[in-house]
Amino acid sequence: MTLPVSQGSRWNMQRLWPMLVVLMPCVLLALGGEPVRHALQYDRVAILHGQVWRIFTGNFVHLGWGHLAEDMAGYMLLWLLFEELLPGWRCPLLVVLGSLGVGIGLYLGDPALRWYVGISGALNTLWLAGAMLLMQRRDWLGWVLAVFLILKLIYEQTLGPLPFSVATTGGPVVVDAHLYGALTGALLGIALLIWPRLFGQAGRV
C-alpha cells in the first residue's frame, strides 16, 4: 500500500534535496565519531601509502559538532543564495569538485601539512563560482560576495585564521584549504561563464 504524498511535500523534497545531499553524509559520518574521522580524514602519510580517497573524503568529516554546525550553516546559506542560479545538482557538484580541488591543492601545495578535515574550503568553491555568476548578471550582491571573500582570504593568508573560526572549529584552521577552494571556484566560475552548457545552462533564467 502506498501512502499519498501531497504536492507540497513533493515540491519541498524536490527543492531541498540539493541541500540534504551534502548535509546528510556529513551528519551521518559525524555520528561515527573519531574512528570514522580518523579513517577518512586527509592524512598525507596514509595518502602516500595508497589511501588516495582521503584527498576527497577528508572534506566530509569534521572535528566535532561545533565544526560541523558551522560548515553546514555555511552551505545552507550559500545554497539559499545560489539555488536559482545553480538549481538541482549544480550546487552539490560544485562542492564535490571543490573538495577535490582542496585535497589536491593541499597535497601538492602543502607538503608539510599532516592532516585536515572539514568542508569549509570546498564551500569557498561554491561561494566564488556563484558570486561570479551573479556578477555576470550585473547583480551587486555578486560583487559584495566576491570582495568579502577576497578580503577574508587576504586576512587569513597574512594574519592567520579569523578569531571566531578558531573558537567554533575547536581545533587548528587550515587557511590554505580556503585558498585552494576559492581558486577552484575561480576556475569553475570562468568555465561556467565561457561554456554555460558545462552545467546545463547554469545561471540562465
175-194 and 140-159 helices cross at what angle (nearest 10)?
Answer: 150
Domains of the chain, by residue range, sit at 7-199
Q: 116: which strand partners? A: 42
pLDDT-derived band of residue 2, with 50, 70 and 90 as boundaries? very low
Amino acid residing at 117: V
What mean pLDDT do residues 176-194 have?
Answer: 96
Q: Give the pLDDT score at 203.
A: 52
pLDDT tens digits, 72-118: 999 999 999 999 999 999 999 999 999 999 999 999 999 999 999 99
Q: How far is CA 183 from CA 22, 33, 75, 90, in A?
A: 21, 31, 18, 18
Q: What does the H/E/C string look like for 30-51?
A: HHCHHHHHHHHCEEHHHHHCCC
Contacts of residue 52, Cβ cutoff 8 Å, sequence gap at least 6: none
The CATH superfamily assigned to 7-199 is Rhomboid-like (1.20.1540.10)
Q: Which of 32, 54, 34 is nearest to 43 (CA)?
A: 54
| CA 192 to each of CA 32, 133, 152, 158, 189: distance values in angstroms, whole numbers, following the listed order | 37, 8, 24, 30, 5
